[in-house]
Structure 1
């Protein structure tokens, strides 16, 4: 895991799926936070830079795009996690 929670871990747990596997994150998490608290990377760079964890973290770039069933491609850094979301790292 890349992201380690140090505080505020008492929030309700929310189930979702990441690349078809069951996962959990906390209420109020963005998809980016939920993914990085579950997996060791957000995506693999298509330009040979290796694993990526997002770039700007504020919705200004395209580095954190993921697929959400029913929504299409979304920015993981500005999209709040909802219960039952099916997320695929692109």
Structure 2
């Protein structure tokens, strides 16, 4: 089964059970946040470093490496 999420207005398709980070990496996206002028994505992959945070369905600071993607999620980049 697949899940469809909307990332900064573009539809991205992943597999059911994947994290948001997994869906983004599977779609070829290596970074999705800017911090201190540098692009960020997954660094630790276990929720410690906060490099992968996104806004998901209006909630800021969601760790993409820990949040399972759900069909219909709306994901936006964060700049901090």
Would you call these one fold, judging by a TM-score over 0.5?
yes
Query: What is the TM-score with the length of structure 2 in the denominator?
Result: 0.82
1:44/1:69 CA distance change after superposition, 3 Å: closer
Higher strand share: 2
2:49 corresponding residue in structure 1: 61
| CA radius of gyration, larger in | 1
CA-CA distance at 1:21 after TM superposition: 0.9
Unaligned runs of 5+ in 2: none
Query: What is the TM-score with the length of structure 1 in the denominator?
Result: 0.74
Given that residues 5 and 75 in structure 2 are in contact (C-alpha distance below 8 angstroms), is that contact kept between their aligned partners in structure 1? yes
Larger relative contact order (C-alpha < 8 A, sep ≥ 6)? 2
Q: Distance in 2 between matches of 1:14 and 1:64?
A: 20
Deviating 4+ runs (over 2 angstroms): 39-48, 50-53, 70-73
Aligned positions, number: 78
Given that residues 6 and 75 in structure 2 are in contact (C-alpha distance below 8 angstroms), is that contact kept between their aligned partners in structure 1? yes
| RMSD value, Cα | 1.7
Unaligned runs of 5+ in 1: 1-11
